[in-house]
């Protein structure tokens, strides 16, 4: 399953790279710099090995509670570390899951050098415009020197990595991308104490529901609508329905059930038929009252 999406992030907010004076990061997000030899986990996957190259000592390294970082600029890693741990906590809460199926940490690689990043982009075969990509538990980010991260994209990719820790099997494409889109707004808003209604869900997204649920490949057209509709559907399940049913639903489709069947099974007392579910979702998907618009 492809685990990246870096077109135009729905939420384009930038994170400053430097901690405000006197601001102390959350203890669990605090990054502790360590030499390569002292890292708690040095086992990398295929792309992680390629990213680090033959000489891990050429990178700096560090760890937070759930992530191992490889970087050039400590400030980048500290900021992403704080952000990633906040995402971890929020996703754990939203899924209502206590058991992380992995004990080892995720690896995060932060490139600063444009040429090195472009070399890596070719290896992973993503678009040269990409600023980050997730592959299972590994996350690769480009932070151009002197620039700042676009956290909308980072949040989406971080969510993919974290979701993988709690759900062992692939889930349908709409659920994987929709959850990443949802958390890139929701977890960010919680992290920054922002009103998330300012960022998303203001416009209806029209995408054929059955087509969305059954998709196994990214559509050739209307990709942004596919992401947006997926996000709306996840938001509908997490914010409008009993959130405690979301994880059983995810586990059921991860075990091979079709989305449509699992929706009707898990939410059976709410929706007797798929048409009833589609109606309720369509209502949720309607635009808000327009009295404040010019």
Residues at the site binding Zn ion, with contacts judged by CB under 5 A: 5, 177, 180
Q: 78 vs 176, which CB is nearer to Zn ion?
A: 176
Measured CA to CA, the distance from residue 35 to residue 31 in angstroms comes to: 13
Residue 159 C-beta: closest distance to Zn ion, Å: 8
Taking a C-beta distance cutoff of 8 angstroms, is the pair 111, 73 a contact? no
Taking a C-beta distance cutoff of 8 angstroms, is the pair 10, 181 a contact? yes
Q: Which residues of 73-110 are buried (b: 16+ CB within 10 A; e: fewer)?
A: eeebbbbbbbbbbbbbbbbbebbebeeeeeeebbbbbb
Return the residue matching tokens 């480009």: 142
Output phi, psi for 273, to 5 deg: -135, 165
Residue 276 C-beta: closest distance to Zn ion, Å: 30
Name the residue with the smallest CB distance to Zn ion. Answer: 5
Exposure of 10 in the CB half-sphere (CA atoms within 13 A)? 31
Q: 180 vs 229, which CB is nearer to Zn ion?
A: 180
């Amino acid at each position: 399953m492809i685990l990246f999406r870096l077109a135009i992030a729905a939420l384009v907010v930038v994170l400053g790279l430097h901690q405000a004076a006197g601001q102390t990061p959350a203890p669990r997000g605090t990054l502790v710099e360590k030499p390569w030899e002292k890292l708690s986990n040095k086992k990398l996957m295929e792309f992680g090995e390629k990213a680090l190259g033959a000489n891990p000592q050429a990178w700096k390294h560090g760890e937070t509670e759930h992530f191992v970082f490889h970087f050039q600029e400590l400030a980048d890693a500290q900021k992403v570390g704080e952000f990633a741990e906040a995402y971890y906590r929020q996703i754990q809460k939203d899924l209502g899951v206590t058991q992380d199926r992995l004990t080892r940490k995720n690896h995060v690689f932060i490139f600063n050098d444009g040429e090195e990043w472009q070399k890596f982009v070719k290896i992973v075969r993503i678009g040269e415009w990409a600023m980050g990509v997730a592959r299972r538990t590994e996350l690769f980010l480009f932070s151009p020197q002197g620039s700042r991260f676009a956290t909308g994209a980072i949040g989406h990719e971080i969510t993919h990595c974290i979701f993988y820790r709690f759900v062992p099997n692939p889930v349908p494409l709409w659920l994987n991308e929709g959850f990443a889109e949802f958390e890139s707004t929701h977890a960010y808003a919680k992290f920054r104490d922002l009103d998330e209604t300012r960022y998303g869900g203001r416009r209806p997204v029209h995408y054929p529901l059955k087509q969305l649920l059954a998709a196994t490949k990214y559509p050739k057209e209307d990709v942004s609508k596919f992401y947006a509709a997926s996000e709306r559907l996840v938001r509908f399940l997490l914010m409008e329905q009993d959130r405690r049913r979301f994880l059983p639903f995810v586990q059921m489709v991860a075990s091979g059930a079709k989305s449509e069947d699992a929706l009707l099974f898990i939410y059976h007392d709410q929706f007797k038929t798929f048409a009833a579910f589609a109606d309720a979702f369509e209502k949720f998907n309607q635009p808000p009252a327009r009295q404040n618009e010019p």
